[in-house]
Structure 1
Amino acid sequence: MQAQSEEMKLTVQQRLTRQKEAVACRMKKLDAKQNEIKKKYSAIQENIERKYEEMRRVLEEDCRITLSLLEMEEKATVQALDDFTERNCAVLSEIEFRLSEGLMDSDIQSGDLVPELEDRVEDLLKVTDPGLVRLDEVKAEQILDRTNNLLLFIRSQTPIVKRLLKSCLAEVTLDPTTAHPKLIISPTQNSATFTSVWQEVPDYEGRFDTTLNVLSLQSWDTGRHYWELDVKGKVYWELGLTYPSIPRKGRQEDCWLGRRDESWCVEFFDGDYTAWHGGKAHPLPVCTQFNRIGVFCSFPAGLVMFFGEDSMTPLFAFCTGTFTDRLHLALCPGHDLQGSNSQPIKICNTSHAKS
């Protein structure tokens, strides 16, 4: 009996040893993968920085060459005007000298002096006409036009992150069955507006009844996704992402976005931005009141990120590691605050919003 017990003990020890080795091997591979990813991102970052530095050098060199050309033309025209001025000064000095010295009787009797000088002055005024010296305005306008076109092109391509995120735009609509009874969901299901009237709607299990939230009809568990929401004219709102497990009823604090571990949000109230997750507040040092907010999530990276879409200003990023469930877009338009917050929140990237 004792021998059998020892044998079982040995078997258990061997199994635990194999499991230990398997976990240790996995940890080693995870560490190697982490180092590999860090090296790749570091190389990508350095490459991007070099490209931007190269673009800066190219633009600076082109600016130097363009300004040098304009500077040389300016010097040439100024020199021509200086020559005209010198020739006029010489004749003017001669006239002033003769006036100061007085005219000889012989000069007056001959009558040759004044006509001769008049002819010289007439010729001088013709050949030193300021209108004869002009900038090459056609060339200058062409340079200015091309410079402006280059600027417009660069602006159309930047911010690069905006073009990148636009490629991740995900079609999304709101789910009216989750909306608080004081929210009006538009017929196209792309906007939510507060109403002071408690609407007669079915009391679905998934409907919020203590806080003014509504979730998206769609949810996601893979890939990278981006949404833009119009918050123009509002002084209070909450936007974010949540697992389906967010409480819909009960204590208000449990149902608010970002107050527990199953949701992430950015809140705007009276000019101040705050990021929320797990009940922890992150006040944001942002003063601009944006008209549009971008929301991005990446399942491969476990990332939730918010942007001021007007200028693609990063507001806050949550690095969660991994998501454990599907994600819904979530929003709260807030009370109307005596009319100051009556505007809806509108999804901008649905087919209805684009039309």
Structure 2
Amino acid sequence: MNSKENVLRPQQHQQHQQHQQHLQRQRDVINYRMKKLAAKQVEITKKSSAVKEKILKKYEDMNRVLDEDLRITLTQLDAEHKAVERLVEEKIEDCYHLSQDLSQRLDNLSAHIAKEAQGIDTEDAETEERICGTLKLTDPDLIQLDEFKNEQLLSFTVNLLLFIRSQVPITKRLFKSYAADVVLDADTAHPKLIISPKGDAATYTDAWQDVPETSSRFDNTLNVISQQGFSEGRLYWEVEVGGKTYWELGLTYPSIPRQGREEDCWLGRGKESWCVEYFNGNYTAWHGGVQHELPLLAGKRFTRIGVCCSFPGGLVCFLGADTMTLLHCFCAGTFTDPLHLALCPGHHNDDTNWNSLKICAASRSATVL
């Protein structure tokens, strides 16, 4: 027995050493990976800062170009205004001198009443001709700004403004390039929801619908999710919320509870989903049961809400799509399952919330600047 133990002990010791060396190598690998990740974090920060700096410079350049164009336009308008103003002053001066001459003539006539009739007639004719000429040349209707050119300038300015508005917010053009088609799954909808035939709208009704009872259907909360699940790339949807006083929008894994405790099935109450809720003028973001009040948005109304997710970035964003106002962003990290779009149109809320939640048709921009 002792001899066997003597043989086993060196073997066990050797195995222990080998295992210890293996763990040390693995630890070294993990430590090296941590260093690489830290370096990647620094690299990402530098790249992000560089991009922000470049974009900031471009906006500064655009502002300089617009400011210079404004300066040139206003300078030209000021020059024309001064020229016309000078012309008016000259005409006023001509009239003033003629008025003075006429006053002098009146004085002279009073002093030389006995002057020869022929001479008087000659001078009167010359004076009448001068008066007519002056009145003709100083007609205010003949003095005009270049209205046609000014209208052209204004038209060009309007066109420039329309063009700029068509390009901004540039984030909208970017997000639109991520637009994805999606159809709501009627088999998941709470029985008090009516799903449109196209699967693009959910409407609350007081009446329970005659629908099959399935394990995929929400039975405690007014939710419906999309048929499609998405697991890669960057995706964006817009949902019409105009005229509503209560709604919830979000993204969820298919594992979100459909039955059971009511709160477990609500969007954002578990780790399976992310959402923004709107109720009577107040916005709240939810994930993992954690509530994020959004007081800066209180009272703001949007007709469309944008929902965006980035699998490479592990990001879930909600935006007021009218103005691309950021409502809330979740840094979700790595997504473990496909994501489904989730909607809750809410109850009638004292007869103020009967409008549908409608998914807008995907519209991708052909070019992203």
TM-score (normalizing by structure 2): 0.92
**Shift in Å, 1:338:** 3.5
Question: How far apart in 2 are the matches of 1:103 and 1:216?
Answer: 106
In the TM superposition, 1:1-355 aligns within 5 A as 1-99=8-106, 102-107=110-115, 109=117, 110-112=119-121, 113-284=123-294, 285-286=296-297, 287-349=299-361
Sort the Cα spacing of 1:108 and 1:92 in 2 relative to 1 into closer, same or farther, 3 A.
farther
Gaps of 5+ in 2: 1-7, 364-369
Question: How far apart in 2 are the matches of 1:129 and 1:24?
Answer: 91
**Shift in Å, 1:96:** 3.1
Q: More displaced, 134-143 or 297-306? A: 134-143
Question: How far apart in 1 are the matches of 2:184 and 2:116?
Answer: 104
Listed one character per residue, the Cα deviations across residues 292-315 of structure 1 (whole Å, up to 9, x for unaligned) are 000000000000001111111111
**Shift in Å, 1:97:** 4.2
Sort the Cα spacing of 1:103 and 1:315 in 2 relative to 1 into closer, same or farther, 3 A.
farther
Question: How far apart in 1 are the matches of 2:268 and 2:239?
Answer: 18
Kindly indicate whether the alpha-carbon contact (under 8 Å) linking 1:168 and 1:225 is maintained by their aligned counterparts in 2. Answer: yes
Question: How far apart in 2 are the matches of 1:37 and 1:199?
Answer: 51
Question: How far apart in 1 are the matches of 2:347 and 2:362?
Answer: 25
Question: How far apart in 1 are the matches of 2:188 and 2:308?
Answer: 22
- Write the letter of the residue equivalent to 2:113: D
Listed one character per residue, the Cα deviations across residues 199-230 of structure 1 (whole Å, up to 9, x for unaligned) are 12111111100000000000111100000001
Question: How far apart in 2 are the matches of 1:337 and 1:9?
Answer: 68
Sort the Cα spacing of 1:283 and 1:99 in 2 relative to 1 into closer, same or farther, 3 A.
farther
Question: How far apart in 1 are the matches of 2:146 and 2:328?
Answer: 51
Question: How far apart in 2 are the matches of 1:238 and 1:293?
Answer: 10
Question: How far apart in 1 are the matches of 2:213 and 2:239?
Answer: 27
Report sequence identity in percent: 55
Kindly indicate whether the alpha-carbon contact (under 8 Å) linking 1:173 and 1:350 is maintained by their aligned counterparts in 2. Answer: no
SS class of match (2:180): coil
**Shift in Å, 1:2:** 2.4
Listed one character per residue, the Cα deviations across residues 31-86 of structure 1 (whole Å, up to 9, x for unaligned) are 11111111111111111111111111111111111111111111111101100001
Listed one character per residue, the Cα deviations across residues 307-333 of structure 1 (whole Å, up to 9, x for unaligned) are 111111111111112111111100100
Q: More displaced, 45-54 or 276-285? A: 276-285
SS class of match (2:203): strand
SS class of match (1:106): coil
Listed one character per residue, the Cα deviations across residues 264-297 of structure 1 (whole Å, up to 9, x for unaligned) are 1111111111111111221211132101000000
SS class of match (2:21): helix
- Write the letter of the residue equivalent to 2:303: N
TM-score (normalizing by structure 1): 0.95
**Shift in Å, 1:100:** 5.7
Question: How far apart in 2 are the matches of 1:298 and 1:48?
Answer: 21
Kindly indicate whether the alpha-carbon contact (under 8 Å) linking 1:190 and 1:350 is maintained by their aligned counterparts in 2. Answer: no
- Write the letter of the residue equivalent to 1:302: G
Listed one character per residue, the Cα deviations across residues 88-137 of structure 1 (whole Å, up to 9, x for unaligned) are 01111232344467342234744234333222211110111222222122
Number of residue pairs matched by the alignment: 351
Q: More displaced, 289-298 or 31-40? A: 31-40
